[in-house]
Amino acid sequence: MPTCHLQMPLPLPLPLLLLQALVLALMIVAMSVVAVPMASCGRPDKVAETLASHDMPPVAGLHSVAVPAAVLVPFVAGGVGNWSLWNAAVSKSSGTIGECNSVDVAFRLHHHIPLTLPSSCLIYALNGTATSSAVSYAWEYSGPGLFGVHISSFSPDPDDPAGSTLATNWERAMGSTIRLDPSWWKNQFAFVASQTFNGLDCLASVYAATGTLLIDHVVSACRP
């Protein structure tokens, strides 16, 4: 089955006040996604335990992207195999966003120290579709001494519903491996989130210049 691969950097500092505000906002988003009726797959007991865990603080992000949701959502959520073309934290990806599907993502972080998580990134909750203008999805993953939950959502930005997309990210992991150095792990997940948002901004620049997200234009402008 597909696996998640993480390569770890040294810790990156984040503005703590901003992070705290985003955590509060994204907790609401996270719980709304998790509240989607569970599919007949995954480990709902472990997911619930992770959401309530204090092994590490959650990493949360909220970002407005100047691309209409009807354009951005199908490109991002409907194009998992293209994530490495615009996201500097992803070196390889495959799979399809769908209930009970698995996605294979190899993350490229600061110092390229390899860590393989030998389990599927299994999508256990889905709200919307990858080809619509709004989608939320959550996946679980596990490895030696850890179990984690990742939640993403894309929807029209309430401040500019016709022209922009609100992207959110929420992540937390638990277990003995996480407890060895919670801050270090938090920084790894925060780096991936920041690179993802940077990549989304690059997609916005392509859209501003061309009015589309044609793959050739994206590769030319955004490929890491």
CATH of the domain at 128: 3.30.530.20
CA of residue 138 relative to chain centroid, distance: 9
Domains identified in the chain, total number: 1
Name the residue range of residue 47's domain: 4-222
Tell me the two tokens of residue 94: 């495959």
List, for residues 161-218, the tens digit of each pLDDT value. 999 999 999 999 999 999 999 998 998 899 889 999 999 999 999 999 999 999 999 9
pLDDT tens figures, 144-165: 899 999 999 999 999 999 999 9
pTM of the entire predicted model: 0.81
Amino acid at 137: Y
**3-class DSSP assignment, residue 13:** coil
Pick the closest to residue 182 from 191, 193, 174, 170 (CA basis). 174
Map residue 191 onto helix, strand or coil. Answer: helix
pLDDT tens digit string along 95-146? 999 989 999 888 876 655 555 443 468 999 899 988 889 999 999 998 889 9
